[in-house]
A = this chain, B = another copy of it.
Amino acid sequence: MSVRIPRPPARGARTAVLLLSGGLDSGTCLALATRWRWRVHALSFDYGQRHGVELAAARRLAERFGALSHRVIPLPGLGALGGSALTDRAISVPKSALGEVPIPVTYVPARNTIFLAFALAAAEVTGATEIVIGANALDYSGYPDCRPEFLRAFERVARLGTKAGVEGRRLSIRAPLLAKTKADIAALSLALALAPGDTISCYDPGADGAPCGACDACLLRAKGFQEAAQR
């Protein structure tokens, strides 16, 4: 198994705000940014999601990879808005439904827009020029706010809507996993010495924090690691 580790998208010592959920994608981004020697401010959100165990994983990851800071933003209002199986307990998480519907019911309305908006605020305050998000090709298939054209549009918002942008500090949105399959990401995570047990991606973990093994996220992840192992 040979894996090409992506080169930094920008030269020099960069400061980044990195969206860190504790899942495989954002964990791999953190390992990658650290490899690039970027100074990372990690940002997580507590939005009433079922998978609070992810936040514990995020904390461990931020510490292990030496993030400059790790902030958990409480977003009780996002869960209260409703409309997603991830935040609304009246909607059940579908099992083995991979690819069945155009937009999964686990889609949280405008989630990435909200997360990126807070990352932007954090970039203003910390002086970061980079915002790193683990959006990838598979998310792209179902979630509108993981598409490359969405991320480009948000980059324009970031450059126009901030003091930093007006004063000439150019902000960039980096999605280093965007063109990667889950197998690519699994392989990359292993190449960066990120153990599978360091991250959790389950939508519906048990009371003990163990992944359910049956939701979309568990299925995609297992398939990714399986394919990566066969390379």
Residues of A whose CB lies within 8 Å of any CB of B are: 71, 73-78, 80-83, 102-103, 107-114, 116-118, 120-122, 124-125, 144-145, 147, 149-150, 153-154, 156-158, 160-163, 165-167
Contact = CB atoms under 8 A, between A and B. Distances in A.
Contacts of A114: 114, 117-118, 120-121
Contacts of A153: 153, 156-157, 160-161
Stoichiometry (number of copies): 2
A109 B124 contact: yes
A120 B113 contact: yes
7 contacts: A74-B74, A78-B118, A83-B124, A109-B125, A113-B117, A114-B120, A144-B165
Given A75-B77, A83-B124, A83-B125, A161 B157 contact: no
Contacts of A147: 160-161
A78 B160 contact: no
Contacts of A107: 163
A78 B125 CA distance: 11
